[in-house]
Amino acid sequence: MRKASAGLLVGCTAAVIVLAVDLLFTRFSSGLHPLETIELRTYDWRLSHTARPDTARTDIALVEIDEYSLRNLQPNAGRWPWPRAVHSMLIDYLARAPAKVIAYDVLFTEADTRTGFEFGGTTWSGAESDKALADSIKAAGNVLLLADASYDTKTPDAVLPDEGYRLDISGILDREGVLPPFPALAQAAAGLGHNLFILDPDGPLRHMTPFVRAQQRALASLGTAAALRAAGIGPGDVRLEGTALRLGDRRMPLSWRRVDREGKPLLNRGQIHVAFG
């Protein structure tokens, strides 16, 4: 009985201390909660120690634009940004594979207005280069392009296509504007995906923002849009269900965070709750 009573007393005392610290910190501090810091750090540790690279899928390929490719293509394509004709050639190559879905993580928000440049031993105009890219995207029929949601500014002249998602407004971050690719590319693409990401309060990027909303239209992230297309899940089969995102017959648990109007994370205050996958 004495051991049981002592154990109960220690447990109750520890619980009271934790609750008191939590109450005081929440009320008087604007910093990151120490318990949340512990959770985030142990989350990183758990992931690093449970990851199994040998089970990674082999049917997903990352084609990187890195320092090596920039230097390697410079004699023929010039310095970055490359002519759109280079991207056209890559789209054609991937389409011949054939790739099931091509998610192209490069912004093309404006047309190329150059009147002439050397490429492949001939002189191209920016308009010709843009047309080559649009033609390749349309011919492939499965290219998802990037829409810029990182700068929350009104874009009255930019019309965001309706991707067909019908989601409740709760849990989706509203943006003043999302800038799609210039019209010829937006019309040729099979769909669009946004590029907004929000860092966790302690700095790293651990989560993604599955949807944002602009012009009363919901837009999936580029990764979410690619996964939905690869799985054959249409916009009508996507919905929010409480604390989860229902994607056809799949269910994605969501984490809810407080953010400000610009999407920046808040700690112990703020009224906007956003869903993260």
Looking at the domain assignment, is residue 27 inside a domain?
A: no
Looking at the domain assignment, is residue 16 inside a domain?
A: no
Looking at the domain assignment, is residue 33 inside a domain?
A: no
Q: How many distinct helices (H) and strands (E) make up the chain? A: 7, 13
191-228: pLDDT as tens digits: 999 999 888 777 788 888 889 988 888 999 999 999 99
Encoded tokens for 222: 């580029």
Provide the pLDDT confidence category of residue 107 given band limits of 50, 70 and 90.
very high
- In this prediction the pTM is 0.82
Looking at the domain assignment, is residue 71 inside a domain?
A: yes
Mean pLDDT within 50-70: 90
pLDDT at 106 over 90: yes
Domain carrying residue 97: 59-166+176-234
Mean pLDDT within 129-134: 96
Using alpha carbons only, give the angle 226, 229, 234 rounded to the nearest 5 degrees. 130
pLDDT at 238 over 50: yes
> How many whole angstroms separate alpha carbon 209 and alpha carbon 194?
9
Looking at the domain assignment, is residue 50 inside a domain?
A: no
Instruction: Count the domains in the chain.
Output: 1
pLDDT at 272 over 50: no
Predicted local distance difference test score (pLDDT) of residue 273: 47
Radius of gyration of the chain (CA): 24
Predicted local distance difference test score (pLDDT) of residue 201: 74
Task: Say if residue 98 is preceded by a cis peptide, omega within 30 of 0.
Answer: yes
Looking at the domain assignment, is residue 121 inside a domain?
A: yes
> How many whole angstroms separate alpha carbon 163 and alpha carbon 160?
9
DSSP letter at 271?
Answer: S
Looking at the domain assignment, is residue 125 inside a domain?
A: yes
Looking at the domain assignment, is residue 199 inside a domain?
A: yes
Nearest CA to 217 out of 118, 147, 115, 144 is that of 147
